[in-house]
Structure 1
Amino acid sequence: MVSSLDAVLALHTIFAALWTGGTLVLAGAVLPAARNEWLSTQALSFISRRFRSLTIVSVLALLFTGGHLAGTLYTADRLQSTGRGHLVLAMVGLWLLLAIALAGGFRQLVGLPADRSAARAAKNARPWFLVGSLASLVLLIIAGLL
């Protein structure tokens, strides 16, 4: 029988994987394709809008499931005084950094004017998504340590 804690952990893991994986795909495949002018402005905007929707859902899902997991598995004292607690707090900070970095990147990619090229938009969004990719990788490493 699956406990409610197991279900919350599974949901948390699924959204974390989708969000971090999507960030890496966008930064590693979509933006380089757009920078090489292999994607139209409309295609880049479409992909970005879809990933922005996934990001919004993931941020909310991870906020609620992560809050539930932290509240169930840790006390305030354990979060502040143990190595595992420090890793959880580091994940919260990286989660926030990832959300902010992607928001900055989406501002460059979604709702592009007709006269703006996909290559230019991808170039402007690249630093934001590189920060997001780095945060994603560190989040995955910390998750593996936990």
Structure 2
Amino acid sequence: MRHKELTTSAARARKGGNSKNLGIHVAVYYEEKARLVQEEVETARLDIARARVNATKRTTASKTIIDLHSTTTAQAIILSKECLRDHVASQTCPVEFITGRGNHSVGGRAVLGPAVHDALVADGWDVSPLPAGLIVNGRSSG
């Protein structure tokens, strides 16, 4: 069963449930199944985004460039942290994340850049803004 069918079944069980027919227990069962299906979908979407990002990753002698276009904000944060776990960012070999200027975002305002910036700074990274992205020069010293 798909997510929508499971949540519909849960709603029906809740609506028709009473202490004799275990409606609440049946509803909880369907809700849990729906949650698991949603987790599987999100994992698959993240795997697809990861493959896209890895396919466009460029590494030169001076830096690694990761393009986060076409990812959701949550995916971009996860993938940027994974990248920094796998690639040592430093002053001599920084990691550059292309997040875009926000031209295609609602209101024309950048979404990925600020979200990834805040998440990486919170994790202790030295992050500087670029016109359409971010550059990470290693761990923050303070």
Q: TM-score, normalised by structure 1?
A: 0.30
Specify the structure having the higher radius of gyration (Cα). Answer: 2
Higher helix share: 1
Higher relative contact order (CA 8 A, sep 6+): 1
Higher strand share: 2
